[in-house]
């Protein structure tokens, strides 16, 4: 049986851990609200861009399109994959669920002998993928070390990806991230970037615009922006998911620490009582011997 002092030290240490996890939970809750607000305020722009793109691609149906970004190259042999994770851990299964999803596709590529390369966003994904897939790494983007806003980061990722697409002859580009469902549920998802998936079912009416400059040139300019927009949305969803996941993970940790403290306190009291009983027996039997 551990002695009383050791137990006391353990109880104290679990108590301070509980304080930390409680604080982290509250910080995550505050950050989550901010992240959700950001996602909310970006939704308007994002919806519009998708709408304009859907309209434009409908208008271009059957016409010659100079940009390969919309329809892709026609084949599917060489892939570029963006894995967006968080900079920090301690957020439950947030990072590993994205990595797991990405891994299963990478394995499929390897078994089909298709070429692929990886761009990582966020330190945690890089760490988890590095050992197994280090050979396929192309570039890594940090989310925090710069004073750039999230949109600027999304811009530089999309610029790099489009550049690589043109230069190195990739056929598809896809991003993995966690979609924010609620605090307790985040869904690992994938979004196709090139060929740009246009969901025209949402567009209520097809408006025939007059274009300036012509359709093709506008499309040329719109597509990179649409891709940036998809990446930006993914990063925002990811940020909200990360905080949500951290919040519920820390909530669990706080509760577990509470349970542990309770158990340890009971153990402490019992051994204290046992020690007293022991001493009493010793005194009584000492007195009897006289």
Partner 1 sequence: MVDKIKFELVSPEKKIASGEADSILVPGFEGDFTVLASHAAYLSSLRAGILRIFSSGETTEYFVQSGFAEVSDQGLIILAEKALKKSELNIDSIKEEISLLEKKIMEAEGSIKDKIQKQVSDLRSLV
Out of 46, 148, 189, 203, the only residue in the binding site for partner 1 (CB under 8 A) is 46
Residues 77-96 that bind partner 1 (CB under 8 A): none
Chain centroid to CA 47: how far?
A: 22
252 is catalytic: no
147 binds partner 1 (CB under 8 A): no
38 binds partner 1 (CB under 8 A): yes
The sheet carrying 172-180 orders its strands as: 137-141, 115-121, 78-84, 172-180, 186-194
36 binds partner 1 (CB under 8 A): no
d(CA 131, CA 133): 6
CB nearer to partner 1: pick between 61 and 288? 61
Total residues contacting partner 1 by CB under 8 A comes to 28
Can you give the length of the chain in residues? Answer: 290
d(CA 277, CA 283): 10
d(CA 244, CA 92): 10
Q: How far is the CB of 159 from partner 1 (least distance, A)?
A: 12
Chain centroid to CA 275: how far?
A: 52
160 binds partner 1 (CB under 8 A): no
Sign of CA dihedral 129, 134, 137, 143: positive
CB nearer to partner 1: pick between 9 and 207? 207
Select which of 91, 102, 219, 250 is catalytic: 91
257 binds partner 1 (CB under 8 A): no
SS3 117: strand
Residue-wise burial string across 16-52, b where 16 or more C-beta atoms lie within 10 A, e elsewhere: ebbeebbebbeebbebbeebbebbeebeeebeebbbb
44 binds partner 1 (CB under 8 A): yes
Q: How far is the CB of 229 from partner 1 (least distance, A)?
A: 7
Out of 113, 147, 210, 288, the only residue in the binding site for partner 1 (CB under 8 A) is 210
Out of 49, 129, 193, 250, the only residue in the binding site for partner 1 (CB under 8 A) is 49
Which one of 102-110, 111-119, 136-144, 209-217 is the stretch in contact with partner 1 (CB under 8 A)? 209-217
Chain centroid to CA 227: how far?
A: 18
Q: Which residues are near partner 1 by CB under 8 A?
A: 38, 41-42, 44-46, 48-49, 52, 56, 149, 151, 155, 207-213, 217-218, 221-222, 225, 228-229, 232
* Active site positions, annotated: 91
């Amino acid at each position: 049986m551990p002695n009383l002092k050791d137990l006391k030290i353990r109880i104290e240490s679990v108590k301070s851990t509980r304080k930390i996890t409680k604080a982290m939970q509250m910080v995550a809750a505050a950050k989550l609200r901010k992240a959700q607000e950001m996602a909310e305020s970006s939704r308007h722009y994002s919806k519009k861009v998708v709408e304009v793109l859907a309209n434009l691609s409908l208008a271009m149906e059957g016409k010659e399109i100079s940009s390969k970004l919309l329809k892709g190259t026609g084949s599917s042999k060489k892939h570029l994959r963006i894995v967006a994770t968080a900079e920090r851990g301690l957020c439950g299964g947030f990072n590993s669920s994205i990595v797991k999803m990405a891994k299963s596709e990478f394995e499929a590529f390897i078994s089909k002998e298709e070429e692929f390369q990886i761009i990582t966003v966020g330190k945690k994904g890089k760490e988890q993928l590095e050992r197994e897939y280090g050979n396929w790494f192309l570039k890594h983007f940090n989310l925090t070390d710069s004073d750039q806003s999230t949109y600027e980061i999304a811009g530089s990722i999309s610029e790099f990806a489009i550049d690589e697409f043109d230069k190195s002859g990739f056929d598809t580009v896809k991003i993995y991230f966690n979609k924010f469902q609620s605090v307790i549920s985040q869904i690992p998802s994938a979004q196709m970037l090139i060929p740009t998936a246009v969901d025209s079912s949402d567009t209520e009416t097809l408006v025939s615009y007059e274009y300036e400059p012509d359709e093709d040139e506008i499309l040329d300019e719109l597509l990179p922006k649409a891709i940036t927009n998809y990446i930006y949305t993914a990063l925002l969803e990811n940020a909200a998911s990360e905080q949500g996941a951290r919040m519920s993970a820390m909530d669990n940790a706080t509760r577990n620490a509470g349970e542990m403290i309770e158990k340890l306190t009971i153990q402490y009291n019992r051994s204290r009582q046992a020690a007293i009983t022991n001493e009493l027996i010793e005194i009584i039997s000492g007195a009897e011997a006289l």
